[in-house]
Each structure stands twice: as C-alpha cells, then as structure tokens.
Chains A and B, each alone.
Chain A
C-alpha cells in the first residue's frame, strides 16, 4: 500500500435505505469501475483495502460518512474524488478526499449531529418534551438488539437537543402540514445511543409521540469540542499544514 486516503461521503434521498453491507458492496464495485488502484490484502482470498468508520443505520440519511481506502499507487486526490463519485449511484455522493495522517479516524469520530424531521408533530409538545428530557438525569429506554431486548440510559450521551425553527416553505407554495425539526448532538458511546432512542426517551418522559416515523439525517460527526459542545471536522489534522 502506497497511499492511504480518507473519504467523506453522503447517503442521500432514497439511498438512505442502503444498509452498511449494501454500501460496502457498492463502493467495492465503484472502485473497480473507476479503475482506482486499490490495494488488496495478501493471502488466500485477497480483499480490497477499504474500511468504514461508524456507518449510519439503514434508513438514516447522512452528510458525513467516512471510509478509508488504501491505494497501490499514489493518485491525485481530486481525481479520486471525482472518479469515485461518478462511479457510485446518485445518492451515494463523494464529498471530500484527503490523504491520511497519523491517528485513527474512528477515534476522532466522538459525536454526531443529527437532524430529525417529524412530519405532523406538534411544536409545543416537542419543546416541552425536550425541556423535561434535559432536566432528567437518566432516561432508561429499551431497544430490540440481536441479543434480545436491551435496557440502557439514553440521556447521558445526549450533549444537546433542541427544537429548531426551520422554514420549510418555498416561495409561492402553500404551507405544508405542521412539522417539527429536532437537532441533537449525541456522543458515540457503548451501547450506542441512536436518534430513535432519544425519540423514545422523549416519549417516556413527556408522552411525546410523533404520528409518523422520523426522517433522520446525520449532519456531521467528529471530535467533540468541549467549549462549544459541537463536533469539529475530523479532517482538521489532515488539513493542518494548509492544502494537501
């Protein structure tokens, strides 16, 4: 392996229904189609050197997914970005490619910013639920995992949660049905607290129950800034000496 690249990509629109396995197959094929000189592992059954950090769940859109790819010969970063993007189906979009510096990328992904769109939900009820959730020390929720029903705290990992005021209306259109937008910053912990766990928490503390499933998007993930309480850009290290 000659060059190690780090890639930020988005999964958008209907492609949010891809699972982690679907994405990894799609990326391997895109790499082959684009002719990017990916390095292969040695051994009996060689695999392309592509690894993924913290994939968003099936059904969740994301503007900030990350993978690493090892190349057998050095390539121009912008060209890899454009070629890979062109070879992936629309909706899996390659946003940024940097050359890896030292340190694990996965370790830098400490927290995520999530946006939850809740069609038909009531704004006042949402605000009240958020207030009660933040006031609680612990909010125990349950989720069905592969190992059966698990019970865990959904409060501690939540750095912040708020109802945001977004104008969804575009000029000339009728205002749509009421809709609540939640924005939350959640630390990556074990067991992982997912946006729907927080939503379950809001229901448990205040009976807040949106009428239809949430549309969830990961807006960003990165190292958590202690002062702002927001995740920073995980590629700051790679960008430290200016343009790479």
Chain B
C-alpha cells in the first residue's frame, strides 16, 4: 500500500512560518527510496529543531547505512517549531519526514536519537502530531515501533511509558540487526503482531523493551527491584560496541543543508570512546574502550566528504581529539593537502595536557588564530582531583602562555559549578586561575592585548558514572557561587577587564538532573509539562523552570518522592538505581570504588597508557582498546 506525500498540504502552510526551508528536504546527498519496494521503513528523528538536528552525526550515519540496505528505507524527521505545530494541528497535517514528506505513523520504526534529556517533550509533540498514542501500551499494529537511542537512552526509564524499545551504544550494527528481525517477521506475515516483534527483539538481549520489565518499589520510594515480567526476556540488556571503525567509514556522503545549521562543516569521528576517566563525564564512561580510526581512513573520509559536500571546514571529532595516537601526522597531512584551498580544519575537544603548539599551528595554518578553548572543569587543584581531570595549574599556565606567545589573543576556559564536595573556595579559585592566565599572557607577549573568557556550566550527575550516587548541588548554592565568582572577576582592577564571564543560572540543571537520574515515575511529570505547553526545553527562551516544578507537584502527588529526592539526595551504595539492569559494561563495584576515590582525592590513570584497572567494560563486552600508531602518512593528493 503506497503512502501519499503530505507535501501539497504542508506547502500551503509554509508561507506562514519562520524559515520554511527547514521543512522541505531535498538536501544534497539526501535519499528518497521507493516506498513499495522496501520492506522495512525507518523514520529517524532528532528531537530538536532542524538546525540542530541535521548536523547530528548519529542520525546521518544510520540514515546512510539503512538506506544502503536492500529492502530498507530511512527518512528523517525533526521537531517542528511551535508556529508550524499550531498550523499542522488546525489543518490536520501529521508529523512528516523531510525526505519524501511521508506521514511518520506509516513507518515500521520511529528511531529517536537522544543526545540530551531535554528533547523528551519534543518526542511527545512528534508522537502526538503523528497520531501515535503517547503510551506504548495503547499502540496497535498500525503504529511504528518507537525506539530510542543515543546517550540519554542509557537511562530511558523517565520515558519508558512512551517507548516501545531502546538500544544502548553504537547504532551501526544493531540498526541493521533490528531491520533484519523486522524483515523476517514481516516475511512470515507478522505473526503475533507488535508484541511478538518486540519479544523477538527483546530476547536477543540487545534491545530493551520497557514494558517487559516490572519495577517494584519500597514504601520509602526507593526501587526494590526491576524484573522481567515474562519468560524469555533477559534480566539485563547490554550495550553495543562497534569494533574496527575503519570498517564503518560513515558518513560517506554528508547531508548538505540549504538552511543554516549549528555546524556548517564536514565532521569525521577520529576515534570513539575515552578512558581519561573524568568522573563527571557520562560519554567517557559509556563509550569505552577507545577505538581509533586509522590515519589513512581519516584521510580518505575527509577527501571524499569534502568532494561530496563542498564544505569549507573539516571538524575532527571525538571526546578528546588531541589524544589520537597520530594526531600530529593527521593535522600536518591535512594541512599540507589543503594548503591554499581555503579549507579550514578544526579540532573541538582538546585537553590542556594533550595540546601542543605544533598541532595548533597546523590547525591554524589555513585559517585564523581566533581562539582556543580548554576545559580545566574544576577551579582548584583539589576539585580537579575529585573529578579526575588530571590537569595541573602549571600545565594550564604553560599551555596558555605558549598559545599567547604564538599569536593567539583569546583563550576560552570551561569550568563546572556544583561538583561533588565543592565548596565556595573551589569556585572562587576560578578567578585566581583566570587572573594568572592573563598575567602570564601579558608577560609572554609584552602586550596588554590578551583576553580570556571563563565559561561555566552547572554539573549534573549522570547514570553509569562514579557520580551516579552523588547529591546534586541545589540551584540556590550554584547561583550564589556564580554571583560571588562574577564579583571576584569584575571587581579586579588589574585583570577584570581582560576576563569575560559567561554563565547560566542553576535551575535548568535541576530539571536535567531530574530527567537524567529519574525512574518511570518521572514520566508523568514529563507528560504534565508537555500538556502544559512545554516544548524545546534545551532552548532558554522556551524553557520554563516554574512549569517543570508545577508539573512535578502534580506528577508526584501521592508518591513518596519529589524533585529533591531525585536530584539533591545522595544514594546509598546498594540502592537499586533505575538503570542498573541496563549494562554499559562498567563494573558496579569499580564505579563505587571510583566514587570513594573521588571523595578522597585519589586519581586514576588512563588505561591506554597504563595497566588495566578493571573498570569491567572490555571483558564484559568482549571488546579491546584499538589504538595506533600505524606509522603511515597521508599522501598528498594531486590537485585537479
């Protein structure tokens, strides 16, 4: 049965909305496959505005891999802005894909990639606009399987009611495997309806189906246990890890949007995983072990990607890009190759201690020396030991001094506020550090024309990290410390004017904390916020703390829990956490030990360069560290 394009109906609405181009599709390298020739049809959603969602690597990779499969098609859908949402509701136009403008409800799978929990309300808007029942238990065989992935899916419990399934970890292989299960099931005539399909997926142990698990609670609100409620469902669900990134060189054909987006560049992931062991960093914990892409594959991907896209900037992505074993050779090889072609290179996520000036010089050879960003994260030496960000003040001063003396005029420093065990003096230490940075810069350059910007985010304890047991700092304390820091910076006559200060208030972090470490009872709060008009919670102009608190009041009524219970309450060692049945490979005892080490200022080394300290991931998941050096070089290309 073919599906009609919604475009003619949508088109009539577009003259009335802001930035209509984001809804029309037709991007370079986008794909529209024949509906009837496909058996398995995926709608892939990034639950934020197009300008944020389009550049997302995860969605682009899966889109390309799924469309390469025979009998499978994948299209994309994004959150629509409230102006179009209102028109779609009044004109009865359902949630659509931007590729062929097909109704999302007609697909077999709606795969949603959650980089952050703040996209949850946008999921509800999309489901509602699509005509898909919000509650998974109300869906019929005519509804798609609603499947979550991305980092937030490592604790999908707050949205468990709205999901049919979730997958943890790298998506490449599991997306193909799920397609195969659906293809077979449909080939057999879809026996047993969606429940049998979900059962087939759940029984593999690699797909989490929340409704096949019951959560039991203690009278005081803590979780007693989470258990499968039918036979054949495994008690734990494991994460997926792609080994050998050279075999998965995606995206090959990057999507090139017409609309302006947040990242206007071709991005190549140069490695996955990070074992630096920063205790606040969920990404570093759940993506272990480190798997490098080889220098030759990186070179090939950059060449093909630029040719396919016409982008003038290349971003070399990872969690800590300067840690690639051959980053120097990669940087030099690419700078040589693209010399004189107006192609810029960028290296987001650079550690202070991995930075070196040769590298920075290569990256700025074809561009400008506008700014460098480093993330010491903690303002005091003690704080950095607690979070295991092993960067000394000396390291930092040496690095920025070199940068200033090599011609950079602006350095950005990123910190967090509200870290476990933090005291006022730790945050005020940021001011001292910033002043020392400017002082060293002035001495090194003999000029007063050096600047530094201090940027601060609120810390949110995350699942599957040593801080999963920690008390989140209340927003009043965070705000007070940030104000005192501001006064300390601004009040300084000698250095104050050379230091910029950027911070946000602490309230959004509390909501993020509620959603990060929440359990299934938080679902009713999310629903209440959405019903009250909550949308685009990652955007400060749309986010409303008061709306969330009012919804929590309603959602938690009759329960022995409240927002503080989920956020500022410290957990006991043996309390069952909502995500304990979801296996990222990390040994729980090791996590607890690392939490104790944090409190005692004990640091842990990186297992890439020191012996294994038994975090548990490699033996549990059957994975291994994959790093170079390969000793190869990038060959120069002949210029056409």
Asked whether any CB of chain A lies closer than 8 Å to the CB of B631, the reply is no
For B7, B15, B24, B307, the residue with the greatest tally of chain A CB atoms inside 10 Å of its CB is B15
Given contacts A15-B258, A35-B640, A89-B258, contact A46 B342 (CB under 8 A): yes
B310 touches A32 (CB 8 A): yes
Say if the beta carbon of A165 comes within 8 Å of chain B. Answer: no
Give every chain A residue within 8 A of B620 (Cβ-Cβ).
none
Structural contact, B15 and A33, CB atoms closer than 8 A: no
Indicate whether A227 reaches chain B with its CB closer than 8 angstroms.
Answer: no
Q: Mark B243-260, 1 if CB is under 8 A from A, else 0.
A: 000000000000010111
| A 1-56 contacts with B by CB, 8 A | 14-15, 17-19, 21-22, 25-26, 28-33, 35, 40, 44-46, 48
The answer to whether A21 and B260 have CB atoms under 8 Å apart is yes
Pairwise interchain contact B12-A213, C-beta atoms closer than 8 A: yes
Contact with B along A189-214 (1 / 0, CB 8 A): 00000000000000000000000110
Contacts of B23 in A (CB 8 A): 17
Among B18-62, those with CB < 8 Å from A are: 19-21, 23-28
**Are the CB atoms of A29 and B309 closer together than 8 Å?**
yes
For residue B368, CB closer than 8 A to chain A, the reply is: yes
Partner of B368, one of A18, A29, A44: A44
Known: A22-B21, A59-B20. A29 touches B26 (CB 8 A): no
How far apart are the CA atoms of A173 and B307 in the complex, in Å? 45
Partner of B15, one of A28, A45, A59: A59
Bound-state CA distance A31–B25 (Å) is 21
| Residues of chain A contacted by B21 (CB below 8 angstroms) | 17-19, 22, 58
For the complex formed, measure the closest distance between the CB of A144 and the CB atoms of chain B, giving whole angstroms.
14
- Return chain A residues, CB-CB under 8 Å to B81: none
**How distant is A24 from chain B, measured CB to nearest CB, in Å?**
11
Assign chain B's interface to a size class. Answer: 20 to 34
* In the bound complex, CA of A18 to CA of B24 (Å): 9
A35 to B23, CA, bound (A): 29
Which residues does chain B contribute within 8 Å of A33, judged by CB atoms?
307-310
> Which among B27, B28, B306, B312 has the highest number of chain A CB atoms within 10 Å?
B28
A91 within 8 A of B: yes
Instruction: Report which of B26, B259, B312, B342 forms a contact with A90, defined as CB distance below 8 A.
Output: B26
CB nearest neighbor in A for B101: A14
A87 at the interface (CB under 8 A from B): yes
How far does the alpha carbon of A11 sit from the alpha carbon of B342 in the complex, in Å? 28
B258 touches A18 (CB 8 A): yes
Residues in B with CB closer than 8 Å to A59 are 14-15, 20
Asked whether, in the complex, the Cβ of A45 is within 8 Å of the Cβ of B368, the reply is: yes
Residues of B within 8 A of A46 (CB): 342
**Distance in angstroms between the alpha carbons of A25 and B260 in the assembled complex:** 8
Residue of A nearest to B25 (CB): A14
Contact B309 A17 (CB under 8 A): no
B15 smallest CB distance to A (angstroms): 4
B29 CB to nearest chain A CB (Å): 10
Distance of A192 Cα from B405 Cα, bound (Å): 52
* A213 CB to nearest chain B CB (Å): 4
Given known A29-B310, A33-B310, A35-B640, contact A89–B7 (CB-CB < 8 A): no
CB-contact partner of B258 in A26, A32, A44, under 8 A: A26
A: interface residue count bin: 20 to 34
Enumerate chain B residues within 8 angstroms of A18, measured Cβ to Cβ: 21, 258
Q: Which A residues are in CB contact (< 8 Å) with B195?
A: none
| Inter-subunit contact B11/A89 (CB<8 Å) | no
B480: interface (CB < 8 Å): no
Is the beta-carbon distance between A22 and B258 smaller than 8 angstroms? yes
A17 to B7: give the CA distance in the assembly, Å. Answer: 13
Bound-state Cα–Cα, A17 to B259, Å: 10
Interface centre among B7, B260, B264, B310 (most CB of A within 10 A): B310
A15 touches B20 (CB 8 A): no
CA distance A144 to B134 in the complex (A): 40
Instruction: State whether A17 touches B20 (Cβ < 8 A).
Output: yes
How would residues 304 to 323 of chain B score, 1 for a CB under 8 Å from any chain A CB and 0 otherwise? 00111111100000000000
Instruction: Give CA–CA (A29, B254) in the complex, Å.
Output: 13
Q: Is the CB of A22 within 8 A of B342?
A: no
B608 at the interface (CB under 8 A from A): no
Chain A residues lying within 8 Å of B342, measured Cβ to Cβ, are 40, 46, 48
List the B side residues contacting A90 at CB < 8 Å: 26
Out of B12, B19, B26, B259, name the residue touching A91 (CB < 8 Å): B26
Q: Which B residues are in CB contact (< 8 Å) with A35?
A: 640
In residues 84-100 of chain A, which contact B (Cβ within 8 Å)?
87, 89-91
**Bound Cα distance from A27 to B309, whole angstroms:** 12
B16 at the interface (CB under 8 A from A): yes
Q: Cβ of A28 and Cβ of B310 under 8 Å apart?
A: yes
Chain A residue numbers with a CB within 8 Å of B259 are: 22
Shortest Cβ distance from A155 into chain B, in angstroms? 24
The interface residues of chain B lying within 8 Å CB-to-CB of A40 are 342
- On whether the beta carbons of B26 and A89 are closer than 8 Å, the reply is yes
B360-382 near A? 1/0 per residue, CB < 8 Å: 00000000100000000000000
Task: Report A-chain residues with C-beta under 8 Å of the C-beta of B311.
Answer: 29, 32
Complex interface: chain A residues within 8 A of B19 (CB): 19
**Cα distance A99–B217 in the bound complex, in angstroms:** 78
**Measured between alpha carbons, how far is A31 from B23 in the docked complex, in Å?**
25
CB distance from A200 to the nearest CB of B (A): 15
- On whether A213 and B16 interact (CB within 8 A), knowing A19-B21, A32-B312, the answer reads yes
Residues A17 and B260 in contact in the complex (CB < 8 Å), given A33-B307, A89-B27: no
**Residue in A closest to B11 when the chains form the complex, CB atoms:** A14
Which A179-236 residues have C-beta < 8 A from chain B?
212-213
**A221–chain B nearest beta-carbon distance, Å:** 22
- Taking a contact as CB atoms under 8 Å apart, the answer to whether B310 and A14 are in contact is no
Q: Which residue of B lies closest to A31 (CB)?
A: B310
Kindly report which residue of chain A lies nearest to residue B24, judged by CB atoms. A14
Q: How far is the CB of B341 from chain A (nearest CB, A)?
A: 9
Residue of B nearest to A196 (CB): B15
Q: In the complex the two chains form, is A17's CB within 8 Å of B14's CB?
A: yes
Q: How close is B25's CB to chain A, nearest CB, in angstroms?
A: 8
Which residues does chain A contribute within 8 Å of B368, judged by CB atoms?
Answer: 44-45
Across the A-B interface, give the 4 residue pairs with the lowest CB-CB distance, nearest first: A29-B310, A33-B310, A32-B310, A17-B20
A-B contact list, 18 entries, CB within 8 Å = A14-B11, A17-B21, A21-B260, A22-B21, A22-B258, A22-B259, A22-B260, A25-B258, A28-B310, A28-B312, A29-B28, A29-B312, A32-B310, A33-B310, A58-B20, A59-B14, A91-B26, A213-B15
B residues near A (Cβ < 8 Å) are 7, 11-12, 14-16, 19-21, 23-28, 256, 258-260, 264, 306-312, 342, 368, 640
Besides the contacts A17-B21, A45-B368, A48-B342, what 19 more A-B pairs have beta carbons closer than 8 Å? A15-B24, A17-B14, A17-B20, A17-B23, A17-B24, A29-B311, A29-B312, A32-B310, A32-B311, A32-B312, A35-B640, A44-B368, A46-B342, A58-B21, A59-B15, A87-B310, A89-B26, A89-B28, A91-B26
